[in-house]
């Protein structure tokens, strides 16, 4: 995106329902979710957490934004957001509660965001992720993202560095088939 700074951050976010546990549902993130999302955001991103005002601003962007909440038993356990501009898309944020990571929610959120990007006509998707977040980078690599470079001191106020990653050619049939396969694998 030329001439416009985009704030993006991503945290590894996976979960499985497990025996006897409620399934996670992905629902559109709405204004009434913001307070709960901000609490979760602080738990995940600490000093670099987005504010309620930033989430409100993102939701107010209309059709260029797509935000989802992952809900289990009435509790928001994850969330993710996407910006789309023509043939470009950007994962704005992705996070999952630490007590439910490890088996699919982050993957499901990301696959849903990428499917939405494809529906909007995006040809590629980009994101930033902390350089010390190897679990998230592994998820992104599995979904076809490649490293483009490093943004020094990207996250504020912590000053943490971020990898810039891109999934090129998300509009292709092969990429759609890969999303199908990944989604099938996490649904088992």
Domain boundaries, the chain: 9-187
Residue ranges in the chain whose pLDDT is less than 50: 1-20
B/e letters for 72-97, b = 16+ CB within 10 Å, e = fewer, are beeebbbbbbbbbeeebbbbbbbbbb
**What pLDDT does 12 receive?**
37
Distance of CA 89 to the CA centre of its chain: 12
Q: Which helix (H) or strand (E) holds 93?
A: strand 88-96
Number of residues that make up the chain: 188
Provide the pLDDT for residue 104.
Answer: 87
State residue 143's pLDDT score. Answer: 96
- Please give the CATH architecture assigned to the domain spanning 9-187: 3-Layer(aba) Sandwich (3.40)
Q: What pLDDT shows up at residue 44?
A: 92
User: CA-to-CA distance for 101 and 95, rounded, in angstroms?
Assistant: 10
In this prediction, residue 21 carries a pLDDT of: 54
pTM: 0.87
């Amino acid at each position: 995106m030329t001439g416009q700074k985009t704030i993006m951050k991503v945290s590894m976010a996976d979960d499985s329902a497990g025996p006897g546990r409620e399934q996670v549902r992905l629902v559109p993130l709405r204004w009434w979710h913001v307070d709960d999302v901000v609490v979760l955001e602080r738990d995940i991103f600490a000093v670099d957490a987005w504010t309620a005002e930033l989430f409100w601003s993102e939701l107010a962007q209309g059709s260029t934004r797509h935000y989802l909440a992952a809900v289990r038993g009435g509790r928001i356990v994850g969330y993710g957001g996407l910006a789309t501009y023509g043939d470009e898309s950007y994962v704005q944020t992705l996070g999952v509660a630490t007590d439910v990571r490890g088996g699919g929610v982050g993957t499901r959120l990301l696959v849903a965001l990428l499917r939405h990007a494809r529906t909007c006509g995006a040809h590629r998707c980009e994101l930033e992720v902390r350089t010390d977040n190897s679990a998230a980078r592994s998820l992104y690599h599995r979904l076809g993202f490649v490293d483009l470079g490093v943004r020094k001191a990207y996250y504020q106020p912590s000053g943490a560095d971020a990898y810039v990653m891109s999934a090129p050619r998300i509009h292709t049939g092969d990429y759609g088939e890969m999303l199908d396969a990944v989604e099938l694998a996490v649904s088992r």
